[in-house]
Structure 1
Amino acid sequence: MQRIIKGNQVVVENWHLLDKDASLDGLPNSDDLIVPLALWREHAHALKARDGGLGVWLDSDEQIEEIEGDLEHFQVIALNFPVFSDGRHYSTARILRDRYGYKGEVRAIGDVLRDQLFFMKRCGFDAYALREDRDADEALASLQDFSEVYQAATDQPLPLFRRRA
């Protein structure tokens, strides 16, 4: 089982992340699944009828606006970083939290590194599935890398000068 960072602690992952080419054939009815956006597009009705938890994952070239009307169906929205230098989903996480008011879990998946976690948290991520070759316990400390922030962000809507006043 993979270990992820969630709720400011390292936990054993209980959600199953389906491959991009997954199909409905043989999907367990009661497991918690994170399905690719393409599978959701094709089989949303059948996926909503399942007993298990439901999440969706978006690749870096897929837009959150495609599912804005379906957000209430997902307990988890996972955003894939195919390479650590592809930062498009920082904006996606911020849009989910600030524009759509999404309260569920926003998870970073893919090429996720320790040095990104603090900044991902500022944008609205609250769970992180690091690359397999990375240590989740060591990466957890990165969420405390900075004691204060100057700019406003999703995790701190007021800039420092407003908080001091």
Structure 2
Amino acid sequence: MPEQQRTLIADRRVQDDDWVLLEEGAERPAEARVIVPVAEWLDAPGENAAPLLASDTELTPELAGQLLEAPLIAIDFPKFTDGRGYSMARLLRERYGYTGQIRAVGDVLIDQLFYMSRCGFNAFLLREDQIVEDALNALDTFSLSYQPGTDTEEPLFRRRMREARREQAVA
């Protein structure tokens, strides 16, 4: 049975979700775009199917190479305390060069969105009890980040050093 419709934030705005998140072994609806467990996706990839990575998925170079063809990649957070999805998203972006949508699904809370976005997530399927306006605001929790991320390659101290050198050169 398909999961209940939840709010999707993609690219920092609320969007209609034209993908159906299916549980393992669920029957695929005809003509629907579906997100299925990665093993099912590997058996039948295509533009109307996308993989769901469980938090314990081993992201091997071989699997990552196959995932590059996916229209989107969903990563499951079975509990908000399970942070393995952060690492998978960062590896997909930085090591393997995935440029499509990486969607956080499962126990996704608004206080995690800023950090998820720094690791490479650009879509979030919110838990039912989360407030959309608060979620959108949470994406801008901090104006600067000290450490590098998928959104900023340089740490803050290097950016500041570069700016200081420019100011000295102008003076």
Matches within 5 A, 1:28-107: 28=30, 30-41=31-42, 43-44=43-44, 47-48=45-46, 52-65=47-60, 67-107=63-103
Kept in 2, the 8 Å contact 1:54–1:73? The answer is no
Q: Deviations over 1:53-78 (max 9, x none)?
A: 33110111112326212123211100
Q: Give the aligned CA root-mean-square deviation in angstroms.
A: 1.6
Unmatched 5+ residue regions in structure 2?
163-171
Unmatched 5+ residue regions in structure 1?
none
Q: Distance in 1 between matches of 2:73 and 2:81?
A: 20
Q: Distance in 1 between matches of 2:134 and 2:80?
A: 18
Query: Would you say 1:117 and 2:113 are equivalent positions?
Result: yes
Counterpart of 2:17, as a letter, is E
Give the total of aligned pairs: 156
Identity across aligned pairs (percent)?
Answer: 46
Counterpart among 13, 28, 31 of residue 17 in structure 2: 13
Give the TM-score normalised by structure 1: 0.87
Q: Distance in 2 between matches of 1:21 and 1:61?
A: 18
Displacement of 1:12 after TM fit? 1.9
Counterpart of 1:158, as a letter, is E
Counterpart among 135, 142, 150 of residue 139 in structure 1: 135
Displacement of 1:39 after TM fit? 1.1
